[in-house]
Structures are given as C-alpha cells and as structure tokens.
C-alpha cells in the first residue's frame, strides 16, 4: 500500500509557534480527517508545561481522542521523564523524546546538558520497559546539522549521540534539521554514517525548508534507502530564530515529490490538497508555505 511512512507533525511542530490557540475541536477534526486520508502516524500533541507552550493545554484530551482512531499511530513529543510518564499513563503509542546535538541549543530548549538528556532518555526507556504494555520510544536529535547559536554542528557529535541512544535500545532515531543547516551534501554524509550505526529501519528524517533545501534533502536520503519522514501540512510552523522563515517541509509537497519518484504513498493527493485549503482558513494570521496548494496538480497527473 505504501513504501514510505510519513508522520504528520503539523499538530505539534506546526502549532508550536502559532500564537493563537487552535480550539480543541479543530485539532480533533484535523487528526480525524488526516487519518481518514490514510496517514498512518500523526504527532498529535506535546507534553510540555502549559506555561512554556500554552498551545498544548489540551494535550490529554487530544491524545485520548487520537487513541480512539484505529489504524493510526499517535505519537507525542515529550521533553523529559515527567512528560513521558504522563503520556505513557495515557497510552501514547509512541513517545518522541527530544534532545539537541548542539549543547547550547539543548540548554536553551530543555535546560540541561546533552549528557543529562541522554541519562533522562535512559530513565524513560527503563520506565517504559517495566510497563505491562510497552510503547515505542523515539528520540529526535535536533539541530543535527547546525543551530542558530553555535552554527555548524559537527557530524561526529551527532554520531556520538546516535551510538549512545542506539545502545539504550530506542526504537527510532529521528535526525532533525531543526533550523535548516542541512544540504544534500552534508545530509548524505551524516545519514550514511547514522545508517552504519543504527541501521536503516530505525531512522526518520525531519527536514525544515528554512533555506529552501528541504525537498532536495529528501531526495538525498531516499537515495540511501531512508523512507520515513516528518512533514507539516501547508508547511505550518516556522523558525523562532528567523522570523518569517519557513518551518517543516510541507506534507503535500513531500507527497508530490515522492509520487513523481514512483514511490507509493497510499495517499490521494487531490484529497489532501482539498484538506490543505480547508485547514488554511483556520490560520488567517499565519504565513503558510507549500507550492502544491498554490499550483495544483500537473494536468493529467
């Protein structure tokens, strides 16, 4: 049915920077609709403190609703053990734990050093292992190519983290180009070495289009046999360090690209573009991205 796994992150990474709180019923409508469009996994919300990101005040409700949808893996972002425990109590099917390859970014994002983050991941893995019904544990390595504080991040730093988290027994490693420092050259280099350590099957690619190279980077990792991607509908989201800059690669553009390469996605692009239009009206104050929603499908596609 599908050669790829596309995880929609609009409801988490996308909404994270949206100032107006999207009403809970709209979030629920979004995840139900997108699941009906054959998406197999959605990052549905984030278990971060409400004070830090008020947008996710309804994380519990959203996760509960997501869990009612059959054929959907609902994953949630957690920044720490506390968030992970809450999410696991609520039967999150997958925990997306986040740390950064840049020490300064990790400090700014989760207020600890990378080693402490890895130790906390270890606690999460152990906690989960002792549960009667285990969930999947995914770790996102943010700023895997660079960050706005430190600049370029050395591949060795990332590979060192990949080795450690692989040793902890995580189910999935998400190499994230959080602020658009990746390009086809350094992306290919890093993923090649990540694959050598962790194997292809565990790896997700999370690209942002900050500097226009998001889809070129997708092609680069497809050539290495990576078929798991994060993306955000209408490119919802942005970059806190570059006002007006683009965020995640747009889901509909990613799917168009994949289809042109002969890769089965299991998703009807016409229906998805209709859904994009529907969603767009919810965000009158956001600069939405994505070319397909403006250009439409090629004639006869």
The DSSP H or E segment spanning 56 is: none
Catalytic annotation, pick one of 147, 234, 239, 276: 239
Question: Which range, of 77-85, 160-168, 214-222, 277-285, touches a second copy by CB under 8 A?
Answer: 214-222
Q: Which is nearer to a second copy, 152 or 167 (CB)?
A: 152
Min. distance of Cβ 183 from a second copy in angstroms? 4
Q: Closest CB to a second copy among 98 and 220? A: 220
Rule CB under 8 A: choose which of 111, 260, 268, 271 binds a second copy. 260
Which member of 77, 92, 176, 257 binds a second copy (CB under 8 A)? 257
Which residue, 82 or 301, is less far from a second copy as judged by CB? 301
Any contact of residue 189 with a second copy (CB under 8 A)? no
36 touches a second copy (CB under 8 A): no
- Confirm or reject binding of residue 185 to a second copy (CB under 8 A): yes
Single residue of 39, 56, 97, 256 touching a second copy by CB under 8 A: 256
Q: Please tell me whether residue 96 binds a second copy under the rule CB under 8 A.
A: no
Q: Is 276 among the residues known to form the active site?
A: no
Residue 177 binding a second copy, by CB under 8 A: no
The residue among 250, 194, 251, 245 whose CA lies nearest residue 220 is: 194
Of 122 and 183, nearer to a second copy (C-beta) is 183
| Per-position DSSP letters for the chain, written without gaps between them | --S-EEEE-IIIIIHHT-SSPPPHHHHHHHHHHHHHTT--EEEEEE---TTT-GGGTTHHHHHHHHHTSTT-EEEEEESSHHHHHHHHHTT-SEEEEEEESSHHHHHHHHSS-HHHHHHHHHHHHHHHHTSSS--EEEEEEETSSEETTTEE--HHHHHHHHHHHHHHT-SEEEEEETTS---HHHHHHHHHHHHHHH-GGGEEEEEB-TTS-HHHHHHHHHTTT--EEEEBGGG----TTSTT---BPBHHHHHHHHHHTT---S--HHHHHHHHHHHHTT-TTS----SHHHH-PPTT-
- Residue 246 touching a second copy (CB under 8 A): yes
Binding of a second copy at residue 299 (CB under 8 A)?
yes
**Binding residues for a second copy, how many (CB under 8 A)?**
45
Residues marked active site are found at: 239
**Residues at the interface with a second copy (CB under 8 A):** 146-152, 180-181, 183-186, 209-213, 215-216, 218-220, 239, 242, 244-246, 250, 253, 256-257, 260-262, 290-292, 294-296, 298-301
């Amino acid at each position: 049915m599908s050669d790829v796994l596309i995880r929609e992150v609009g409801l988490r990474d996308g909404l994270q920077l949206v100032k107006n709180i999207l009403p809970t019923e709209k979030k629920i409508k979004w995840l139900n609709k997108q699941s009906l469009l054959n998406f197999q996994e959605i990052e549905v919300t984030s278990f971060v403190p409400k004070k830090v990101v008020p947008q996710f005040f309804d994380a519990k409700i959203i996760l509960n609703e997501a869990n009612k949808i059959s054929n959907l893996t609902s994953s949630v972002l957690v920044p720490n053990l506390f968030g992970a425990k809450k999410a696991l109590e609520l039967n999150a099917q997958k925990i997306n734990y986040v740390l950064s390859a840049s020490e300064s970014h990790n400090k700014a994002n989760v207020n600890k050093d990378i080693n402490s983050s890895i130790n906390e991941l270890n606690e999460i893995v152990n906690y989960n292992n002792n549960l009667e019904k285990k969930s999947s544990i995914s770790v996102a390595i943010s700023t895997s190519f660079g960050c706005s504080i430190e600049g370029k991040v050395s591949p060795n730093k990332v590979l060192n983290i990949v080795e450690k988290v692989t040793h902890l027994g995580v189910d999935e490693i998400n190499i994230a180009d959080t602020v658009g420092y990746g390009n086809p050259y350094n992306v290919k280099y890093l993923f090649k070495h990540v694959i050598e350590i962790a194997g292809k099957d565990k790896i997700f690619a999370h690209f942002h289009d900050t500097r226009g190279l998001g889809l070129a980077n997708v092609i680069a990792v497809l050539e290495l046999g990576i078929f798991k991607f994060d993306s955000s509908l209408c490119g919802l989201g942005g970059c806190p360090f570059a006002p007006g800059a683009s965020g995640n690669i747009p889901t509909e553009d990613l799917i168009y690209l994949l289809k042109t390469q002969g890769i089965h996605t299991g998703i009807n692009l016409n229906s998805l573009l209709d859904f994009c239009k529907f969603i767009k009206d919810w965000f009158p104050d956001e600069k939405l991205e994505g070319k397909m929603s403006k250009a439409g499908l090629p004639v006869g596609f």
